[in-house]
């Protein structure tokens, strides 16, 4: 189709539209990337120098002090550990619970299937809200334990994601029944069918949803803020939020001209550049898995369009 269009002489409208589109897109992409770039630049700049302002595209006084400090900070190492723990353990658990549920719901001989499905979908439209949820988590004795992160993500349940269940389910339903029937004739049970047949042919959806769940775990901060009071159990994002907030407080103090601001100005590291370094540090893993993520969901998109 593209080739056909090219042979046709481009009209004036065509050229104008192209110019507008590529210009607008360039601006959009710039606005998407600049915040990252600016933060990275600030994180590599000397803190007291950064206070003077004016740093945009390139560090003015290059320094690795912020990162040296970040890597030495025991709080951050701990928070990193908590986040890695919840991501590595919570993600597979969620995938197992969600995918087996979805598989069961595709089987017509599951008694109660319609009710189970309805019970799951209803939660998408109505929920108890934050306070009753908090009280349930509290009642389970999960407050201030690391286990809360396996059961809770943000302000809702972690182990079952109903949206993902629906995605799994519709994918499983598109698998030809004949694959399963032959195994059934050989006497295979549903565990075997799921593990040996369904999972291997559903790798793309498993991979995509695993990555999505891992990103959710990595990015969760709210649970660490409301279910946890012990600072050694705080995940990375929650700690980062605390650092950013103290930065905002410092800025306010700076406006008021307090001594704290002067004190800060004397040190080579400031909370601002420090929080930039922490932010970069927390974002790098996401940037590393992002190419895989993108490959999968763009792939899914292509399949969708080919089907038409």
Partner 1 sequence: MQKIVSNVKQPSSNESSEREPHIVTRAGAIAESPAARSRTPRLRDVIRNRELRRDQFQLQSMVFPALVILFVFSYLPMWGVLIAFQDFSIFDGFWQSEWVGFKHFAAFFTARDFGQIMRNTLVISFLKLFLGFPAPIILALILTEMRRQSLKRIAQTITYLPHFLSWVIVSGFVLTLLSVRDGSVNLLLTGIGVIDEPVAWLSQPRYFWGILVTANIWKDVGFGSIIYLAAIAGINPELYEAASVDGAGRLQKIFIITLPSIAPQIIVLLILRISNILNAGFQDILLLTNNGQNAILREVSDVIDTYVFRVGLTNRRFSYATAAGLSKSIVNIAMLWGANALSRRISETSLW
Using alpha carbons, select from 286, 264, 263, 266 the residue that is nearest to residue 275. 264
Q: What does each C-alpha distance from 244 to 22, 82, 250, 304 come to in angstroms?
A: 36, 19, 10, 41
- Least gap, CB of 190 to partner 1 (angstroms): 4
Q: Which long-range contacts (CB under 8 A, 24 or more apart) does 183-191 make?
A: 190/103, 190/107
- Least gap, CB of 64 to partner 1 (angstroms): 20
Q: Determine the 3-state secondary structure of 45 from DSSP.
A: strand
Q: Which is nearer to partner 1, 57 or 259 (CB)?
A: 57
Q: Which is nearer to partner 1, 146 or 159 (CB)?
A: 159
Whether residue 193 contacts residue 180, with contact meaning beta carbons closer than 8 Å, is answered with yes
- Least gap, CB of 108 to partner 1 (angstroms): 5
Q: Which two tokens stand for residue 7?
A: 């042979």
Q: Determine the 3-state secondary structure of 165 from DSSP.
A: helix
Q: What does each C-alpha distance from 294 to 87, 173, 207, 208 come to in angstroms?
A: 19, 24, 11, 9
Q: Which is nearer to partner 1, 187 or 200 (CB)?
A: 187
Q: Which is nearer to partner 1, 85 or 116 (CB)?
A: 116
- Least gap, CB of 74 to partner 1 (angstroms): 20
- Least gap, CB of 93 to partner 1 (angstroms): 9
Q: Which is nearer to partner 1, 82 or 282 (CB)?
A: 282
């Amino acid at each position: 189709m593209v080739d056909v269009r090219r042979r046709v002489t481009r009209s004036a409208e065509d050229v104008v539209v192209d110019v507008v589109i590529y210009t607008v897109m360039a601006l959009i992409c710039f606005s998407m990337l600049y915040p990252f770039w600016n933060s990275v630049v600030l994180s590599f700049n000397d803190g007291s120098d950064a206070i003077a302002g004016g740093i945009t595209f390139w560090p003015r006084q290059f320094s690795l002090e912020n990162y040296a400090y970040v890597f030495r900070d025991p709080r951050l190492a701990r928070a990193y550990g908590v986040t890695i723990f919840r991501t590595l353990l919570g993600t597979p658990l969620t995938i197992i619970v969600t995918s087996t549920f979805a598989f069961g719901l595709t089987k017509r001989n599951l008694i109660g299937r319609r009710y189970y499905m309805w019970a799951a979908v209803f939660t998408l439209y109505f929920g108890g809200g934050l306070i009753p949820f908090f009280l349930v988590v509290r009642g389970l004795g999960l407050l201030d334990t690391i286990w809360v992160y396996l059961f809770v993500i943000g302000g809702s349940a972690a182990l079952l994601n109903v949206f993902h269940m629906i995605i799994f389910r519709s994918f499983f339903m598109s698998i030809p029944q004949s694959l399963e029937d032959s195994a059934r004739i050989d006497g295979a049970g549903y565990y075997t069918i799921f593990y040996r047949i369904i999972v291997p042919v559903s790798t793309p959806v498993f991979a995509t949803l695993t990555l999505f769940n891992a990103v959710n775990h990595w990015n969760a901060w709210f649970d660490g803020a409301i279910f946890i009071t012990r600072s050694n159990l705080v995940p990375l994002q929650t700690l980062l939020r605390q650092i950013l907030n103290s930065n905002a407080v410092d800025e306010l103090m700076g406006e008021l001209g307090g001594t704290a601001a002067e004190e800060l100005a004397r040190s080579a590291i400031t909370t601002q550049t420090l929080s930039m370094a922490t932010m970069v540090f927390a974002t790098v893993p996401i940037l590393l898995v992002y190419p895989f993520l993108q490959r999968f969901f763009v792939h899914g998109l292509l399949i969708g369009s080919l089907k038409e």
